Amino acid sequence: MAASSLCLQRFFHGGGLGPRGTTNEALVALVRRQSSSSSRHYCRKRVAACASAAAKHRIYLRSPDVVASEYADLNLPHQVSEELGHIRIRQHVNPLSACFSMPVEVPDWNEVFRDPTLPLMVDIGSGSGRFLIWLAKRHPEVRNYLGLEIRQKLVNRADFWVKDLALYNVHFLFANAMVSFNQLVSTYPGPLMLVSILCPDPHFKKRHHKRRVVQKPLVDSIIHNLMPGGQIFIQSDVLEVALDMRYQFDAEGDVLHHMDALDQSVLCDQEGWLLSNPMGIRTEREIHAEFEGARIYRRMYQKRIYN
């Protein structure tokens, strides 16, 4: 996967295909068709097809184009509102800052969701929100979706999109999951069925590792609130971060199974990393990383069902 994505990127950025930043709707549509499988992997034939189209139209394909193609079904407006203004994404935030230390107020779940008794998925670090909105739009009567994000402007924009799409099974909160996760999910009327932590801030420096979201208190809170049979999905494009998260959840082997131990159809490599994304669509960070040739390290766990 990484090799083919890198091959695709090198072809488009190798020179001679036209001015950088040129776009073409036909190519975006082609990329969307070529990436329509649930795993979203580019095989050699797909790379060749996209490369041929690029050569024909003399354009460059960029990772934002791939993001746009994968999320095109949402038809999200580019201009949101004058009140929100320009959304500049700050990549790294210190969750230990005093401004993030207060627990968020628990919402009235009956106002947040049309049916607050549905099973709940919580995405910790929901970013732009497109990933969760895509899931919510496709499963309106099956599950509710809650995104926790520490960057307020991203939450505001995601809320705007939710209202624009008239969705009643997805909600975003400006919250520090390290502080507020337990307080929020413990009050939710329905069962907690799935928790995802996807490409969290790596905080590379050793002295900043304490800022990483996956810490023992959060792991304990997730496991405590997760219903039997509920799942935890983690992934990162940074091996060190993926290993750190894996160590935290693997240590709970008396409570959690890894999915390949329960379902032989779940394919892993020799190191135990999932070979594909089981969610049906990639996150934006995942798309950017794979476009640049990076590998995504994934694990999925299920809480034991006791008789």
SS3 239: helix
Q: How far apart are CA 9 and CA 257, in angstroms?
A: 37
**Least confidently predicted of 2-16, 30-44, 77-91:** 2-16
What mean pLDDT do residues 288-307 have? 92
pLDDT tens-digit series, residues 8-39: 443 333 333 334 444 445 555 555 544 444 44
Asked whether the predicted pLDDT for residue 131 surpasses 70, the reply is yes
Q: How far apart are CA 143 and CA 146, in angstroms?
A: 10
Q: How far apart are CA 163 and CA 167, in angstroms?
A: 7
Asked whether the predicted pLDDT for residue 222 surpasses 70, the reply is yes
pLDDT tens-digit series, residues 264-294: 889 999 999 999 999 999 999 999 999 999 9
Greater confidence, 249 or 37? 249
The reply to whether the predicted model has a pTM over 0.75 is yes
- Residue reference for tokens 């607050």: 116
pLDDT at 20: 41
> Token pair of 135, please?
């899931």
Q: Which residues are catalytic?
A: 201
Q: How far apart are CA 272 and CA 239, in angstroms?
A: 13
Percentage of the chain lying above the pLDDT 70 cut: 72
What mean pLDDT do residues 237-263 have? 95
pLDDT tens-digit series, residues 53-71: 555 554 577 888 899 999 9
Q: How far apart are CA 128 and CA 126, in angstroms?
A: 6
Tell me the pLDDT of the chain averaged across its residues.
Answer: 81
